[in-house]
Amino acid sequence: MKNRMLGNYQKDHLFWGYLFILPTAVGLILLNIWPAIQTIILSFQRTIGFGNTEWIGLANYQKLLTDREVLQSLINTLIYAVVSIPSIIVLSLLVAVLMNKKIKGVSIYRTIYFLPVVAAPSAVAMIWRWMFNDDYGLVNELLSKIGLTGPAWLSDPNVAIYSVIIVGIWSAIGYNMVLFLAGLQEIPKDYYEAADIDGASLWQQFFQITLPLVTPTLFFVVVTTVINAFQVFDVIFMMIAPSSEAMLKTQSLAYLFYKHSFILNDKGYGSAIVVFLLCIILLITALQMKLQKKWVNY
């Protein structure tokens, strides 16, 4: 009897499996995968304009490898990733855990922490640019009150990237807080009640119950945060003037792609840059998928 059931299961799976993935698969291929393939092809070409292209083989890639700007952008992107990713994950998880408790006014807190996500990008840019302003910004004013002189947050080439990172972290917390909150709902409350009865402290409960059981969502957050960090563009676009001195040491690979493809009209080279970026992200994500089994509890 067991064999017959397994046999049915397989057929059932085949039919429903393909049916279920059909709409998404069709959509993704038409809307996303096909354009991606076109972009890869474009990276081996030189664009003359409006769909007219010329095949130049690996020339774009050769140029890429010797382009100082590309190398610097790669470094900028790595700095951004290394600093922002752990910060975002730890802070969002912390906030979500706090928001999951029955504290007074928790709904209000949740809404407040979600606000950055809905605020107009222009408002966000204005406020942070004001806070970071060298002359009259809030940050430097507060620092001067404790006797420190703050740097030129947005125009000093060595500091600008960190300012951008701060805004990036700030923008991402509300987002990931919602994701973690949803994931935390999957953990049965009985576990916590039992732990309370057993006298476990909050720390212990966090590390022994919460953390292990939120790993599926944590995995999602880690993967998406990594991808988003490597693709960082919006926050740089908003905060740093394109002709600014600081741009060279702040612009990410995604920003460089945008600059070449849409402003300097060199879609071939821009495509090569984005393919390069894609390979990096692909490698890291593939690595994460492999390591999944080691720490994620399904």
Partner 1 sequence: MQRISKNWLIHLLLISGGIIMALPFVWMILTSGKTLVESTQIPPTWFPESFQVSNYQAVLNLLPFGAFYLNTFLMVIGRVIGSVLFSAMAAYACARLRFPGRDLFFALVLIQMMIPASIFITPQYLLAQRLGILNSVPALILPGIVSAFGTFLLRQFFLGLPSELEEAAHLEGANVWTIFFKIMLPLAKSGLIALGIFTTLFAFKDLMWPLIVNTSIRQMPLAAGLANLQGQYATNFPQLMAGSLLAIWPMVAVFIIFQRKFIEGIATTGGKL
Partner 2 sequence: MNCFKRVTLVSLSLLGTLVLGACGNGNGDSGGQVTLSYASWDTEQAPGLRKMLDAFEEQNPDIKVEMETTPWDQYWVKLEAATTGGNMPDIVTMHSTESYKYMSQSMLMGLNELIAENNIDMTNFTEGIAESYTYEEELYAIPKDASVIGLWYNKELFDQAGIAYPDATWTWDTFKEAAVQLTDEEAGIYGFAADNSTEGGYWPFIYQNGGEVFIDENTKSGMNSEEVQDALRYYIDFYLNDQSSPSAKELQDTNKVGRFQAGRLAMIVEGNWQTPGFLKNEYLAEHADVAVLPKGKENATITNGLGWAASVNTKHPEETKKLLAFLASEEANQIQAETGASIPALKGFEEVWASSADTFNLSVFAEMLEYGVPRPYNKNGLNAEKIETEIMNRVFSGELSVEEGTAQIAEEVDAILAESN
Q: Give residues in contact with partner 2 (CB under 8 A).
A: 23, 48-52, 133-135, 152, 154-156, 241, 243-246, 248, 262-265
**Rounded to 5 degrees, what angle do the CA atoms 26, 29, 31 make?**
100
Does residue 103 belong to the site contacting partner 1 (CB under 8 A)?
Answer: yes
When the beta carbons of 154 and 218 are compared against partner 2, the nearer one is 154
Does residue 293 belong to the site contacting partner 1 (CB under 8 A)?
Answer: no
Q: Cα(250)–Cα(266) distance, rounded to whole angstroms? A: 21
When the beta carbons of 12 and 245 are compared against partner 2, the nearer one is 245
**Which tokens hold the place of 24?**
């998404």
Site for partner 1 in 20-39 (CB under 8 A): 20-21, 23-36, 38-39
Neighbour count for residue 127 (Cβ, 10 Å): 13
Selection from partner 2, partner 1, none that 152 binds (CB < 5 to 8 A by kind) is partner 2
Nearest approach in angstroms of CB 32 to partner 1 is 5
Selection from partner 1, partner 2, none that 190 binds (CB < 5 to 8 A by kind) is partner 1
Q: Cα(193)–Cα(197) distance, rounded to whole angstroms? A: 6
When the beta carbons of 128 and 269 are compared against partner 1, the nearer one is 128
When the beta carbons of 19 and 118 are compared against partner 2, the nearer one is 19
- According to CB under 8 A, which one of 116, 150, 156, 195 is a site residue for partner 1? 116
| Phi, psi torsion values for 47, nearest 5 degrees | -90, 135
Nearest approach in angstroms of CB 10 to partner 1 is 7
When the beta carbons of 66 and 118 are compared against partner 1, the nearer one is 118
Rg (CA), the chain: 24
Does residue 10 belong to the site contacting partner 1 (CB under 8 A)?
Answer: yes
- According to CB under 8 A, which one of 4, 68, 123, 203 is a site residue for partner 1? 123
When the beta carbons of 249 and 258 are compared against partner 1, the nearer one is 258
Residue 140, CB half-sphere, CA atoms under 13 Å: how many?
Answer: 17
The site that binds partner 1 (CB under 8 A) totals a number of residues, namely 97
**Which tokens hold the place of 9?**
């299961």
HEC assignment per residue over 84-132: HHHHHHHHHHHHHHHHCCCCCCHHHHHHHHHHHHHCCHHHHHHHHHHHC
Nearest approach in angstroms of CB 130 to partner 1 is 5
Q: Cα(194)–Cα(74) distance, rounded to whole angstroms? A: 49
CB 116 within 8 A of CB 206: no
